[in-house]
Structures are given as structure tokens and as C-alpha cells.
Amino acid sequence: MESDVNWHNARALLEWQLEMGVNENILDAPIDRFALDTSPYKTVKRETTNPGMAPKIDPVAIAQKMSQNASSLDELRSIIGAFEYCELKQGARNLVFSDGNPKASVMIVGEAPGREEDQRGKPFVGRAGQMLDKMFSAISLDRGAQDATKSIYITNVLPWRPPQNRDPDLEEIAMMFPFLQKHISMINPSVVIAMGNIACQALLSEKGISKLRGRILHRHNLDILPMYHPAYLLRNPSAKKHAWADLLTLKKKLG
Ligand code: URA
């Protein structure tokens, strides 16, 4: 009998897998999906249907407590790495913490790592990252600069890549926010750039980047400038003129 698996069928099957999100076929180590089911955070979800069975775990409160223990950036990175309540950690290859000069006056907060960032453990190193570098070099800022006045510091709302680059959900944003707050307070920038809607959601509790962008807002004792995300600019080149206007606003603010 002739096999059903001819070249066309095999290709269609592979494409179907890609569409379903199977974009990695080998990881460095096997993942025991049954063991993942017993993660503390899953247990919390089950407990809510059985109130009174076990003490309720509050990942946000735990994150607040853990973040307070950090007294250096290295410590903060290790503490985030030890936080077990965000399921994204299970599927990520690497923790993506930051890049750039910690002494910079400009701190950029993006959304979450994508595929390249997850592989390399650094934020904004894919296509959107190249766009970001181009944008800031237009006002003479560069993540590699030693001179603090010419550099930037980059992090994300979430340190782990969401599967298939889906949007982070509100629960994930809320539980990782204490770490972001601590991170920002350690860098103590004069301006925080909220790159796109997810960063605006985390830092301003608002979405609607088209309305929010272009003005420096004052929240959490910070000056926050919302800007279009570079990935959005790649998809919508006509919005680049707004990004340029926002870069000039930033330049003016920095003097
Ligand atoms: N997009 C982000 O928001 N952050 C990254 O690190 C990469 C892409």
C-alpha cells in the first residue's frame, strides 16, 4: 500500500505544526509537562475552587517581598530567576534581564522577550531591537556607550518570553511589576520610555498608545514618555514621524 506521507503531505503537516506554535523542535533539556502541572501557581488556581482547603498564595505579595531583598542589579536578577510563580519561566530558554548602561538617564521598558531575545538572554536584539537602536542613535544615544549621558538602559515588563509571542496577560504583568519597580528605582533614570501598550499598561495602568504617546507623564514619582513600540513602527512606517517627534521631546527633556 502506498504511504500517505508524500512530500506535499509532509510539508503541510510541518506547516500545520508551525501554525500551532511548534517553532522549536529541540530544547537543551527535556521538559516534563506533567511536573509543570504541579507548579505552585497552578495549585493556587485550583485552590480558589476549594476555598478553605489551603492558605491562598498571592504571587504579587511574594514578588513585592522578594524584590525588596535586592541590593544590587545582580541580586535582583537572581531573585527574579528564583521567582517560581510566573508560568512563562517554564517555557523560556533564558531570563532576559537588561542591556545597556545602568548609569544612563534614559531607561527603556519594552514588553517581553521574543524568540531572539529568549535565545540570547538580552532584550531587543531582534528586528525590533535593530529598529530601536536606529531610533535612539538618531538622537546620539547608544546602548553600548560608556558615557552615561550618551547611553540608554533597556529592560522589559516581563523577563520571560510568552509562548508564540502572545501578549502578556494582566496577571503576569501584575506579578512581575514589583520587580520592574525595584529595577527602575535602582537605575533611577530621569526619563522612563514606556515602549508600546504593554509597558503603558504596566507603568500607567492604561492602554491606547496613540493617545498616550508624545507627552511626558508623571506617575509613581517618575517621568514617563510613552512611545510607539519599534515593532509597531516596522509594521506601520507612516507612524515613524510621531516616533521622531517623541525622540525630539526626549532630547529636549534631557537638555
Ligand atoms: N520586543 C520587546 O518589547 N522587547 C524585547 O526585548 C524584544 C522585542
> 3-state DSSP helix/strand/coil percent for the chain, to nearest 5?
50, 10, 40
DSSP 52: T
User: Which cell numbers in the block locate residue 183?
Assistant: 529595577
Residue 148, classed as helix, strand or coil, is: helix
Residue 35 to residue 111: CA distance in whole angstroms:
28
Q: What is the mean pLDDT of residues 130-138?
A: 98
What is the 248 CA–ligand 1 centroid distance (Å)?
A: 22
pLDDT at 39: 43
User: Which residue type occupies 12?
Assistant: A
Residue 34 to residue 57: CA distance in whole angstroms:
21
User: Which residue type occupies 37?
Assistant: D
- Which ligand 1 atom is at minimum distance from the Cα of 122? 6
Question: What are 61-113's pLDDT values in tens digits?
Answer: 999 999 999 999 999 999 999 999 999 999 999 999 999 999 999 999 999 99
Residue 165 to residue 31: CA distance in whole angstroms:
19
pLDDT at 42: 42
Query: In sequence order, what DSSP letters do the residues of 161-208 get, joined into one string?
Result: PPGGGPPPPHHHHHHHHHHHHHHHHHH--SEEEEEHHHHHHHHHS---
Residue 19 has pLDDT above 90, yes or no: no
pLDDT at 30: 65
Counting ligand 1 atoms within 8 A of each CB, the residue from 115, 124, 160, 235 with the most, and so the one to mutate, is 124
Q: What is the mean pLDDT of residues 235-252?
A: 98
Q: Are 44 and 50 in contact (CB under 8 A)?
A: no
Question: What are 143-162's pLDDT values in tens digits?
Answer: 999 999 999 999 999 999 99
What is the 156 CA–ligand 1 centroid distance (Å)?
A: 7
* pTM exceeds 0.75: yes
Confidence of residue 11 (pLDDT cuts 50, 70, 90): confident
Angle between helices 240-254 and 127-137 (to 10 degrees): 50
DSSP H helices, 24-126, are 33-36, 40-47, 59-68, 73-81, 88-91, 115-120
Residues with CB under 6 A from ligand 1: 110-114, 117, 123-124, 126, 128-129, 156, 231
- Which ligand 1 atom is at minimum distance from the Cα of 230? 1
* Contacts for 167 with CB less than 8 Å, ≥ 6 apart: 111, 198
Residue 49 has pLDDT above 80, yes or no: no
